[in-house]
Amino acid sequence: MEITPQDQKTILRFVKRGVAASSSKLAAISRTVWDIRGISLEACARPEDCAQLKEPSESYLGAYCQAPGKLFLAFFSELSAARITLPLLSGGAGGRLSTPQRREAAVAEVANIVINAVADALAEPGGMAVILSAPKCVRGQRADIIKAAFGNLFPCGRIFSVFIQMASQEIAADCTLLMMLDDVNVNFLLQHPEA
């Protein structure tokens, strides 16, 4: 399936609506303002076609959720993950809540909240709920995380990926959200352009 420039605008309109909801959710969790730094749409047949894999990397922590023909991945640099989850993990139990296992669970929950805000915006046009899998934690280099995400998507036809970069200047934190949609899901969005 090929998409036209007009199709791209339609897809990105739905995505931006979901990203606005996601950044609001992040703001509530982290108690700070989040800005959208960039949104890009790519057609990727294989992980190697993804431009973000060529960028320098560091260690990231996050989670992904999936449904037939779609996968949503949210990940944060290790330092960002610590800063974002601090409000969730601080206080109580004499600091025992901030163990690495608790931080990983907290990051997975934050990722789940961010992901579902975007997934809901993509489901809205057709009036259908998107039922996603439980979040699965991921940790490692960006390239490895993205390749693993591609490996967990079983698409019908071509894969379209959308990368969203968000950041909070106040706490010097970042969030990358990656959505992968196959032809069937992209076609569904394009059939409801006025929603």
Q: For the segment 68-108, what is each residue's pLDDT rounded down to a tens digit?
A: 889 999 999 989 998 888 877 875 444 445 677 888 888 99
Q: Residue 169 domain-assigned?
A: yes
Share of the chain above pLDDT 70, in %: 85
Tell me the HSE value of 116 on the side-chain side, using a 13 A CA sphere. Answer: 13
What pLDDT, on a 0 to 100 scale, did the predictor assign at position 184?
86
What are the structure tokens assigned to 126, written together? 């057709």
Contact (Cβ atoms closer than 8 angstroms) between residue 123 and residue 19:
no
What percentage of the chain has pLDDT greater than the value 90? 19
Residue 111, domain extent? 5-190
Which of 38, 42, 11 is closest to 23 using CA atoms?
Answer: 38
CATH of the domain at 53: 3.40.1550.10
- How confident is the model over 19-28, as a mean pLDDT? 89
Q: Which token pair is 170?
A: 């106040």
Residue 195 resides in a domain: no
State the pTM of this model.
Answer: 0.85
Identity at 186, one-letter amino acid code: V
pLDDT of residue 74: 93
Q: Does residue 139 sit within a domain?
A: yes
The answer to whether residue 33 sits within a structural domain is yes
Q: Judge whether 86 lies within some domain.
A: yes
Number of domains in the chain: 1
**Please, what is the end-to-end C-alpha distance for the chain in angstroms?**
22
